[in-house]
Structure 1
Amino acid sequence: MNDLESGVASRNTGDTGTAGKEYVTFSLNAELYAFDALQVQEIIELTTVTKVPHLPGHLKGVINLRGTIIPVIDLKQKFGMEGHGQYRKHTCIIVTEFSAGVMGLIVDTVSDIMNIPASSISAAPDFGTRINTEFIAGMARTGDNLVLLLNVDKVLTDEESSVVAQVAEQPPELQPGMAEQ
């Protein structure tokens, strides 16, 4: 386990207090994003993902993480960003808890754990009714950087969450080629 992973584990039970809230920051195409650290279970190296037929393109398949089937989503592809599917040395999977269970999110790199005070967080921008931004929990200024804070429960639509939950319920023996991590 690297320092960032152990930092997430040790902070999951901590009190956020009045100083702010802790976020795990990561990059997608050099843009900075973050999830609430309390929703991050662990961060793992990118591993072989077993494809499951008939899933939407951004739902890459599943991994077997110590006996638990975890659906994996390519966040860049989900967000319609360039470069999806181009995985590099530091590409990793953030294993998160969300309303329908657990999922893994493929990101370019994990950066840091940041304590972001509520006073530094602005509401998500309003682009009108045609653009869905409900997955953006807010935007935070950290020095010269702008960080998009994501609501892990809203990254997937209700229909996608239902599909992810069904995929995760399949027993490992029904998933050929599943090797434990």
Structure 2
Amino acid sequence: MTKILDSVDQRTKLVGENRLELLMFRLNSRQIFAINVFKVKEVITRPPMNKMPGSHPSLCGIINYRGKSVPVIDMRAAIRMPAKAEDPAGGNVIITEYNRTVQGFLIGSVINIVNTSWSDIMPPPSTAGRKHFLTAITHYEHEGRQEIVEIVDVEKVLADIISYDVEISEEVLEDEVTPLLRGKKVLIVDDSSTARNQIRETLQQVGLQVIERQDGLQALKLLQSWADEGKTVTDEILMMFTDAEMPEMDGYRLTAEVRNDPRMSNLFICLNTSLSGSFNQAMVEKVGCDRFISKFQPDLLVQTAQERMRQLIKLD
């Protein structure tokens, strides 16, 4: 499996083409789960673990990964699946990088890596309620039958284990600019309800009003509706924060669509994503984002909004 993942960096060409690759696996169950390959550093056979007394119930322990101590989370327990006997083979650990941190997820067997389109990724049904740990679902033909693949909301899993602080540092607030943000609207686009909550709670501290959409297509339709009504998009919102990975349309394609529409091409766009790696800066330049912020950094969110406001003051 490691050999399959060695070429992850070469797959960055998929980004911006509204495509992604999913690493699919099981949790000692019939269901198939998946996460985006871009967030995977490596898949390893379950190594020895050191249990930490008093740690979160979903934390299996700590492993030595390439000379560093890395926490390993039991994915099955983290997404509230009923307890089950451990895989006699010991299972595997997916080493991932989210929000500038490295962690492992204990899983069962790895099935495959599949190249697919974001247009084939669908939000979970509304009847699933609010307590599920999925960002999306898709379908995959496996062993002669169509299977539903459940894509895990890893940000929600991590937020359930790690407490994220949304407080803004006093030193980042600017006396001349921050008060001007009050009452301004921003559009945040993210398929993770956890991520939207974090961004909203951060920006509301400086008086910004938040409009939310769950994927790039929803956001694009909103922007287009304003333009079709003869409204100036930049009068409606100060800027847009968008995730990269989303069902229907990813943040890169959303940005490209906005830049290609002269009615909204000057909208300030910040890519705010848990994806890590140097490829992000190259993709920001390719599709035309104004800024890139890796999640979750409250101070940088506010500083970016202030930067946009400073630009407008100079234009006036």
1:80 CA displacement: 2.4
Per the alignment, residue 218 of structure 2 pairs with none
1:110 CA displacement: 0.9
1:155 CA displacement: 1.9
1:40 CA displacement: 0.3
1:56-75 to structure 2, matched below 5 A, reads 56-75=56-75
TM-score by length of 1: 0.77
Helix, strand or coil for the counterpart of 2:6? helix
Aligned partners of 1:140 and 1:147 also within 8 Å: yes
**Distance of aligned partners of 1:151 and 1:12 in 2 relative to their CA distance in 1, 3 Å threshold:** farther
CA–CA distance in 2 between the matches of 1:78 and 1:150? 10
Per the alignment, residue 151 of structure 2 pairs with 149
1:112 CA displacement: 0.7
1:26 CA displacement: 0.6
Residue type at the aligned position of 1:150: V
Of the candidates 2, 9, 14, which is equivalent to residue 12 of structure 1?
9
Aligned partners of 2:79 and 2:157 also within 8 Å: no
Aligned partners of 2:135 and 2:152 also within 8 Å: yes
Please identify runs of 4+ aligned residues in structure 1 that moved more than 4 A: none
CA–CA distance in 2 between the matches of 1:140 and 1:49? 33
Query: Where is the strand percentage greater, Structure 1 or Structure 2?
Result: 1
Per the alignment, residue 194 of structure 2 pairs with none
**Distance of aligned partners of 1:117 and 1:110 in 2 relative to their CA distance in 1, 3 Å threshold:** same
CA–CA distance in 1 between the matches of 2:4 and 2:82? 31
Match status 1:33 vs 2:33: yes
1:20 CA displacement: 2.3
Post-superposition Cα deviations, 1:77-129, rounded to whole Å, max 9, x if no partner, equal 12222344613216100001111501110101111110121222111222476
What is the total number of aligned residue pairs between the two structures? 157
Q: Say which is worse superposed, 145-154 or 34-43, in terms of deviation.
A: 145-154
Q: Give the number of the structure whose alpha-carbon radius of gyration is greater.
A: 2
Per the alignment, residue 126 of structure 2 pairs with 126
Q: Say which is worse superposed, 97-106 or 83-92, in terms of deviation.
A: 83-92
| Structure 1 unaligned blocks of 5 or more | 164-181
Post-superposition Cα deviations, 1:109-150, rounded to whole Å, max 9, x if no partner, equal 111110121222111222476x323x4221001230110112
Per the alignment, residue 172 of structure 1 pairs with none
**Distance of aligned partners of 1:46 and 1:34 in 2 relative to their CA distance in 1, 3 Å threshold:** same
Aligned partners of 1:74 and 1:85 also within 8 Å: no
**Distance of aligned partners of 1:152 and 1:13 in 2 relative to their CA distance in 1, 3 Å threshold:** farther
Per the alignment, residue 170 of structure 1 pairs with none
**Distance of aligned partners of 1:12 and 1:84 in 2 relative to their CA distance in 1, 3 Å threshold:** farther
TM-score by length of 2: 0.46
Q: Aligned Cα RMSD in Å?
A: 2.2
Per the alignment, residue 93 of structure 1 pairs with 93
Residue type at the aligned position of 2:162: S
Residue type at the aligned position of 2:106: I
| Structure 2 unaligned blocks of 5 or more | 165-316
Residue type at the aligned position of 1:20: R
**Distance of aligned partners of 1:100 and 1:59 in 2 relative to their CA distance in 1, 3 Å threshold:** farther
CA–CA distance in 2 between the matches of 1:51 and 1:20? 38
Helix, strand or coil for the counterpart of 1:69? strand
